[in-house]
């Protein structure tokens, strides 16, 4: 297995971390094996200047993990039915995080399929839609609020080295589904990857 990303990786500028997370491998260890996927799409959120960030109006019970410093998993519940997972970045008090929007599934695809579709046998179309959105990814990996605040250098959920991308392989665009600070091009994804949620 590749080397885990150290805390120092996460405790940097949110955009640097967001771009460098692309191509890395997200891993969740379970009793019956590993779930893993390559990160192919992310969005950056900086509560100091970004009105779309949960942390923009300061610390609350819901968003307090965003203020504890880089290297933690921030999981929140949205629309009364979905979970989304973020990687906290920067220093303590910054309120910055990277939303993981999409993965290219690698290991444990049958268990991901069971979590998402209630079956293990899936076709190519279902495989493409398995983890190509923030809520889909959390459902496939069975990530909920129990993982909020988890340190990403431990052995439950962590991220390891993967592909080293060149700048031309990374596309920046406006973030999806937000109304505040909507013009910021803070969504980053791997060019021509089939598992990106929206090209």
Tokens encoding 168:
């031309």
pLDDT tens digit sequence for 113-167 = 999 999 999 999 999 999 999 999 999 999 999 999 999 999 999 999 998 898 8
**Which residues sit opposite 33 in a β-bridge?**
30
Tokens encoding 82:
């979905």
CA angle 152, 158, 159 (to 5 degrees): 110
- The answer on pLDDT for 171 being more than 70 is yes
Q: How far apart are CA 196 and CA 138, in angstroms?
A: 15
Kindly report the pTM of this predicted structure. 0.94
- 7-190 CATH choice from 3.20.20.70, 3.10.300.10, 3.40.50.970, 3.40.50.300: 3.10.300.10
pLDDT tens digit sequence for 67-108 = 899 999 999 998 778 999 999 999 998 989 999 999 999 999
Of residues 199 and 196, more confidence is placed in 196
pLDDT at position 114 is: 96
Sorted by where each begins, the domain ranges of the chain are: 7-190
Percentage of residues of the chain with pLDDT beyond 70: 98
3-state secondary structure of 8: helix
């Amino acid at each position: 297995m590749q080397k885990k990303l150290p805390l120092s990786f996460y405790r940097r500028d949110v955009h640097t971390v967001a771009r460098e997370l692309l191509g890395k491998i997200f891993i969740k260890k379970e009793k019956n094996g590993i779930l893993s996927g390559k990160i192919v799409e992310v969005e950056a959120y900086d509560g100091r200047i970004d009105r779309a960030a949960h942390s923009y109006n300061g610390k609350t019970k819901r968003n307090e993990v965003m203020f504890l410093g880089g290297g933690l998993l921030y999981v929140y519940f949205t629309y009364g039915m979905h979970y989304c997972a973020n990687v906290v970045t920067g220093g303590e008090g910054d309120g910055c995080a990277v939303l993981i929007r999409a993965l290219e599934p690698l290991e444990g695809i049958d268990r991901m399929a069971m979590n998402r579709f209630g079956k293990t046998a899936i076709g190519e179309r279902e495989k493409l839609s398995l983890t190509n959105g923030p809520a889909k990814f959390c459902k496939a990996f069975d990530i909920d609020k129990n993982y909020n605040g988890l340190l990403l250098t431990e052995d439950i959920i962590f991220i390891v080295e993967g592909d080293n991308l060149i700048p031309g392989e990374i596309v920046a665009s406006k973030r999806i589904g937000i109304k505040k600070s909507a013009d910021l091009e803070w969504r980053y994804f791997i060019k021509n990857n089939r598992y990106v949620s929206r090209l």
